[in-house]
Structure 1
Amino acid sequence: MRALTRTIVGVTAAVGIAAGGLAGSGAAFADSAPAVKPAVSAQDSTILATNNLGLSTQQAKNMQCFLRNSPASYTGAIDGLLGTNSWKAYQRWLQEYWGYTGAIDGIVGPNTIKALQRKLAFNWGYTGAIDGIAGSGTKAAFKRLANDNSVFFPC
């Protein structure tokens, strides 16, 4: 019974500390609380984050529909969240057709943006530098591409 009480007190203290502290508890009590490990590391949260590059949810869904119907082999949800799996599929497509040479890792880095800019410069009005920076011109052209995809690649 004593061990159960100690466990309950320890968990309660950990929850209280994580929530901003316990009223009236001293530093000695806080020091005895077990360490709380984060469920996801900072690196994992970066990888799992979505990056719609300024697209609305519907425009991102348009891109996912395109990826599902392309040789990129996207099999994920059509949820309007361009996450790791969406970008991996897009990187495969960019590798095949637009000179992407980076890792297929789902991270929207400079190499992914450069390949995207080459595509956008071809037919979607991007006139900026192929510099790997997703500025306003890149985002505007990406929106035009996403809107066009709703016509040619409906889900």
Structure 2
Amino acid sequence: MRPNVMGRTLVSLTAVVGIAAGSLAGASAGFAASGSAPRQAVTADATVLAVVNLGLSTNQAKGVQRWLRAEWGYNDSIDGQLGTDSWKAFQRHLKAHHGYGGSIDGIVGSGTVSALQRFLKNNGWGYAGEIDGRAGSQTQAAFKTFANWCVNTY
């Protein structure tokens, strides 16, 4: 072989071997990383613990919690965070007077929101929309009106 052809062949062969070795090294590192990464556990209870203030300020939510404490057996802290215990107390009210048929679980689903909408509509808190189970802007505005009354009364 001529020296020029042999040099090009040697350079090409070295490049191919280098690329292959680099690909294998990267693949094995990626494989090792994916297998050894810690896995996180996810539980369904995570959503139950969520705070759902439906647009209320902390002060407005505290007013609602004081009303719930005085009228519906809420006994957790007055912290302005409408969490599971706040909504359980509210669900007791909604079940007693506003057609809530679900369980007292503190989850703010469409059944809770529908009963809340009936409460806000039937008691003069300014809700004039459909009972649709969605906490849209009209529901939130009426809930704020109610919460402001709670702040001034409790």
Q: One fold, TM greater than 0.5?
A: yes
Separation in 1 of the partners of 2:36 and 2:132?
Answer: 50
Which 4+ stretches in 1 moved above 6 angstroms?
none
Cα distance change on mapping 1:26 and 1:54 into 2, 3 Å: same
Report what 2:29 is aligned to: 26
What displacement does 1:93 show? Answer: 1.1
CA distance in 2, matches of 1:32, 1:120: 53
Letter in 2 for 1:137: Q
Q: Which amino acid letter does the alignment assign opposite residue 80 of structure 1?
A: G
Overall identity of the aligned pairs, in %: 51
- Whole-angstrom distance in 1 between the partners of 2:69 and 2:87: 12
Distance change >3 Å, CA 52–CA 27, structure 1 → 2:
same
5 Å matches for 1:1-155? 26-27=29-30, 29-30=32-33, 33=36, 35-38=38-41, 41-70=42-71, 72-122=72-122, 123-153=124-154
Alpha carbon RMSD of aligned pairs, Å? 1.8
Question: Which consecutive unaligned segments of at least 5 residues does structure 2 have?
Answer: 1-27
* Residues paired across the two proteins, number: 126
One-letter code of the match for 2:152?
A: V
TM-score, length-scaled by structure 2: 0.75
TM-score (ref. length: structure 1) = 0.74
Quote the Cα distance in structure 2 between the aligned partners of 1:147 and 1:111. Answer: 24
Deviation at 1:150, TM superposition (A): 1.0
In structure 1, runs of 5+ residues without a counterpart are 1-24
Computing the radius of gyration from Cα coordinates, the structure with the larger value is 2
1:95-144 per-position Cα deviation (integer Å, ceiling 9, x unaligned) = 11212111111111111111111111121111101111111110000000
